[in-house]
């Protein structure tokens, strides 16, 4: 993007210098037209008289034009050529570009020439968090608060909110709509939820430049109106009281207590009845699918702990399955992750993106290759709506000296940037900001990769995504790379990035120039990412990407 110059030209204005008045004209150019929010553009203003001669008195005040107002940037004296140059931070995605105002004396005194050019700040991910409070006599109060990745205001960074509306649904029914913000800016909405358990889904639509976001919460309303909420969508994950919400296929279920259970004291024992497959499922024997209404493109992460209940089941395959169906009951897709049963507990996790809005999503654990005497235990069966991780990742915590650049993805190479995970989370996908404008035809395949940190460098491979194809001409925007076998990321640092396929130069990634933040090396795509990252080159093109976690 370096070298791009766009010019805005003002109408003539009057600049005052003592008792003399000179009409000046200002033109302003910038070196790029797209910048990550919080990054900067280099702006150059030229001040002339109306007949085109350089005007060398006074200074130029640079700033960002906003939809609602203006944010001051640096003030720079004009030089002997009538030129002033400055780095101007783009501190809001709601703005319309960079403006330069010429003045002599105190700014705001006398007339001044001015001009502006458009510069777009790209969309950054938003995390939507839902909550509800105890009922008023006529209903509950619910709200949706947004948290965003290092959004900026005119004074300082404001890293935890974004403007927009949130629509609240129960199933396919719209409950209420209102404004979203954070802290003391939530818009509490009164709704009427009867006693019982309800699944409430929120959809955030930004007013300006932020991205859309979705979330789902479970709301329990007692007879007296007391309201509790949870991100956990499975209504009976640990079988502590009963088997409510679960049914069996091909066998029977029994609630038992077991020392060392992963969650609490009770677990479910699934025993084979007939056939070669038996399971514990949320869609059998009158049970309802855990997610009553999906959101298209949303990532859902399920997990469960399993163990062999008999010696006959040791070594057999247990599988955790997410199953998406239409409202009419037609199967859309199944996403699975298997494991060989042992007598010890093992944790499974699987992630899937919903193909449409309004479908249902069920979770089940099954054993295949079943015969007489087979049984397994299951516990802590969980399902959550994953959202973008927004703990100020390195790629968007910027200084005024950084700027954004597009970089082509060469063939058979890995590139990773450092990310901090503050608490244990299940990784459901990786989102990278890419386009397909590196070539006029063809396509390029990419996979997401995650490497553990080893003393400040990428070490062992801990996860890789499904392959995704980027076709020539794809407009710039977020690209989701699903991680089907969801990975439990413990607290710590990870190197997250892209592994590019055998065709190079079609896809490009957006980055910010932050010295020393990228590691890259050559790696043949056909046999997968290497188990350890290997020797690498240090670069300063910090990738703009985010893990999506539950």
| Cβ neighbours around 371 below 10 Å, total | 11
Return contacts of 240-245, CB within 8 angstroms, 24+ apart. Answer: 240/264, 240/265, 240/266, 241/266, 243/268, 245/282, 245/287, 245/288
Pull the structure tokens for residue 375. Answer: 């049984």
What are the respective helix, strand and coil percentages of the chain, to the nearest 5? 0, 60, 40
Quick one: pLDDT at residue 207? 67
Closest by alpha carbon to 203, among 183, 185, 222, 178?
Answer: 178
Q: Is the pTM of this model over 0.85?
A: no
Pull the structure tokens for residue 547. Answer: 């893990």
Q: Is 111 exposed, middle or buried (0-12, 13-18, 19+ CB in 10 A)?
A: middle
Quick one: pLDDT at residue 135? 59
Pull the structure tokens for residue 501. Answer: 């396929």
| Cβ neighbours around 179 below 10 Å, total | 15
- Mapping DSSP onto H, E and C, the string for 391-416 reads CCCHHHCCCCCCCEEEEECCCCEEEE
User: Which residue's entry shows tokens 């200074």?
Assistant: 59
Q: Are 63 and 75 in contact (CB under 8 A)?
A: no
Domains and CATH numbers, the chain: 6-121 (2.60.40.1930), 126-230 (2.60.40.10), 247-381 (2.60.120.260), 394-549 (2.60.120)
Radius of gyration (Cα) for the chain, nearest Å?
28
CA atoms within 13 Å, Cβ hemisphere of 125: 24
Q: Spell out the per-residue pLDDT of the chain, length 550, in tens.
A: 233 333 444 444 344 333 356 678 888 888 766 665 555 678 888 988 888 899 998 888 887 765 545 667 788 999 999 999 988 766 554 455 777 888 887 654 433 455 555 555 555 667 777 777 765 555 666 766 665 544 444 444 444 456 677 888 887 788 888 776 544 444 566 677 777 778 888 888 876 556 677 888 888 787 777 777 778 888 899 999 999 999 999 999 999 999 999 999 999 999 999 999 999 998 766 667 888 888 888 888 889 999 999 999 999 999 999 999 999 989 999 999 999 999 999 999 888 889 999 999 999 999 999 999 999 999 999 988 887 654 443 333 333 333 457 789 999 999 998 887 777 788 888 888 888 989 999 999 999 999 999 999 999 999 999 999 999 998 877 888 888 888 788 888 899 999 999 999 999 987 777 778 899 999 999 999 999 999 999 988 888 777 777 7
DSSP string covering 320-338: EEEEEE-TT--EEEEEEEE
Q: Is beta strand 537-543 parallel, antiparallel or unpaired with respect to 545-549?
A: unpaired
Q: How far is CA 133 from each of CA 162, 179, 224, 232, rounded to the nearest angstrom? A: 22, 17, 13, 17
Quick one: pLDDT at residue 529? 95
Quick one: pLDDT at residue 428? 85
């Amino acid at each position: 993007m370096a070298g791009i110059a766009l010019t805005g030209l003002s109408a003539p204005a009057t600049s005052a210098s003592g008792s003399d008045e000179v009409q000046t004209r200002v033109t302003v150019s910038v070196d790029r037209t797209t910048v990550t929010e919080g990054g900067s553009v280099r702006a150059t203003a030229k001040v002339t008289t109306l007949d085109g001669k350089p005007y060398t008195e006074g200074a130029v005040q640079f700033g960002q034009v906003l939809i609602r107002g203006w944010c001051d940037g640096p003030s720079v004296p004009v030089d002997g050529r009538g030129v002033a140059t400055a780095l101007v931070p783009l501190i809001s995605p709601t703005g319309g570009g960079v403006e330069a105002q010429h003045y002599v004396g105190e700014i705001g005194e006398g007339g001044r020439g001015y001009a502006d050019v458009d510069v777009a700040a790209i969309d950054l991910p938003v995390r939507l968090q839902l909550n509800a409070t105890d009922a008023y006599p006529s209903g509950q109060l619910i709200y949706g608060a947004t948290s965003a990745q290092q959004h900026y205001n005119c004074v300082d960074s404001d890293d935890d909110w974004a403007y927009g509306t949130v629509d609240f649904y129960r199933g396919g029914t719209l409950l209420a709509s209102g404004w979203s913000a954070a802290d003391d800016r939530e818009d509490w909405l009164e709704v009427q939820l009867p006693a019982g358990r309800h699944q409430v889904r929120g959809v955030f639509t930004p007013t300006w430049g932020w991205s859309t976001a979705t979330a789902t919460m479970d709301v329990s309303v007692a007879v007296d109106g007391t309201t509790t909420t949870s991100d956990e969508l499975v209504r009976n994950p640990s079988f502590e009281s009963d088997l409510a919400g679960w049914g069996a296929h091909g066998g029977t279920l029994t609630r038992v207590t077991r020392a060392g259970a992963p969650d609490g004291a009770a677990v479910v024992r699934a025993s084979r009845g007939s056939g070669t497959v038996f399971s514990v499922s949320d869609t059998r024997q009158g049970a309802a699918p855990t997610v009553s209404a999906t959101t298209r493109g949303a990532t859902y992460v399920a997990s469960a702990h399993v163990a062999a209940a008999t010696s006959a089941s040791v070594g057999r395959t247990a599988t955790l399955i997410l199953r998406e169906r239409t409202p009419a009951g037609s199967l859309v897709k199944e996403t699975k992750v298997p494991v060989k049963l042992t007598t010890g507990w093992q944790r499974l996790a699987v992630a899937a993106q919903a193909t449409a809005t309004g479908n249902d999503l069920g979770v089940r654990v099954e054993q295949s290759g079943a015969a007489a005497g087979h049984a397994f235990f299951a516990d802590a069966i969980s399902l959550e709506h994953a959202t973008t991780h927004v703990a100020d990742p390195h790629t968007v915590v910027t200084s005024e000296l950084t700027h954004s650049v597009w970089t082509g993805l060469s063939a058979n190479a890995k590139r990773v940037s450092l990310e901090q995970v503050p608490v244990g989370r299940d990784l459901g996908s990786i989102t990278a900001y890419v386009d397909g404008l590196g070539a006029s035809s063809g396509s390029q395949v990419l996979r997401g990769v995650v490497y553990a940190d080893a003393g400040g460098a990428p070490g062992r491979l801990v996860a890789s995504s499904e392959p995704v194809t980027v076709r020539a001409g794809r407009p710039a925007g977020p690209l989701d790379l699903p991680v089907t076998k969801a990975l439990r990321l413990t607290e710590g640092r990870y190197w997250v990035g892209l592994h590019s396929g055998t065709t190079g130069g079609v896809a490009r990634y957006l980055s910010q120039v932050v010295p020393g933040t990228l590691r890259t090396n050559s790696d043949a795509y056909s046999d997968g990412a290497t188990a350890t990252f290997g020797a690498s080159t240090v670069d300063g093109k910090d990738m703009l990407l985010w893990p999506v976690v539950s």
